[in-house]
Structure 1
């Protein structure tokens, strides 16, 4: 799960709206700069181009952080003549992008494809849009990357389209990415002898214990930040944290049981401690950190839930855990 920042309140304009059903494409852009943010690009678009609304719904910074700039139903100014049916994602850089950015783009593009009912063929680079209404796009260098490769990554096509972050080392170690984390194994490993590693860019974990599951095994590992993962040779895993309540699913993973009630800061009570702990465990597992799982729905839990909602329920950012938040959290942490 990538780190997100909600900067929508800092963006200009946003008054031109559309129906979500009108969205037919996702556009990839590059900023053609070595640095920058959604805010700085918006300032340029307003002051230099005279636009009321900036060009991008999302901006992916060099460290992989995703800035959410506009709601889905806002028409932005990314590709002239094609803006009403297009959702725009900008990757900061000029023809050179980091592994973290590519991982973030893949996650966000797939999320947007799911929201709008699109497929890989609907993801286009800026210069792939047709010239229309006096706008010339085909000669544009944006997005600064071969989009056939990008679509190959999104669609899981042949190894010839492998991203820089997916590789095989001289020792035969194979690296594959699962939900933004890297899992290392060897082709010959089976569930009974897997010795995997999960890397968050900070350090490799230690294998804590081997657990018999059906006819195979899964391994409990901890990374350098203390988070726990359950993995198998098939790269199945789920994150939990110390003290989380979980149960083993029939597929061999670990499933968090989420409460069905309504919870928020204004509804705090001692009778809700166990349920709020489960909500906190799920938010931590989804990488929307809320700190200690103490059963108290305080400011940190409220903030984490709102950040989660800004990504998965952008029209329901109210800090209230209810039916919709439960549904989306369940999808993220339990699959």
Structure 2
């Protein structure tokens, strides 16, 4: 999917508020022919004028299964991905089956979208027009039959989409270094995010004991390499603060949610700012992102990116070697030997070479 490559995209599907029992029906992405544009009718500077605030209102006040939009574009250009594209969410009545809903934060009766929002809207619509197999049109909420009375989305979105799109933006101030006198509230307010969001992006942060010189995340990191995607197979799966089954439970992820995985440690997947989840095959289905395996020979004592690629591949095919630290030590040699004992029984030497590479590639593609 092209939209997943956008640098300003943040996947909040697993963390955003959802109803405990209700779910949006699956209608299939092939039925999605429209992109429907909305504004939130909430002023940008208000604390709840974001995807999380809209989700809370839709679930707790309206009783909906979840947030009604597929995407929310916030003031600084962040694109929050809130729902799978194949779901019938609630945002344009009788046309929900066929429409992908995009909401821009703001009350555009009295204010205008920011340049960052406009640019993100162009990028997102351009990507979705490619990703939706039966795409036909983009409309404002009030363009749909029966909704002409709606003051939504109000702004001149046609001119925005007609403008020449420039290279995808990278959010400014993706990190902040703690200075003397800083408080989480001041950091959040100065970067147009909530304290709750700051804490979700920094699960190990102690809000009462900030350390001068400490670096915290202001946006979901895009510089980390995704090694694959994990789909939750059970009704609810606990999220943990650290790579340990004994660590604090910070929340849960619902069945069917797909998450980007950045690594594996102690039998848990690293899912970025959301923390860690079990890597057990009973709980999650893992689909690796196939990356090039190193050439040549690797043995105990070697170090570097090639060793890290080997460790990642072994972890992916369940010959676990622990942390992917780029050091070919005892655990990595043991992992290679165990793999060879299954797939190269006549070549069990714990040394990575062309034959081991060939068999690893085959297992990764299964």
TM superposition score normalised by structure 2: 0.44
Q: Which has the larger radius of gyration?
A: 2
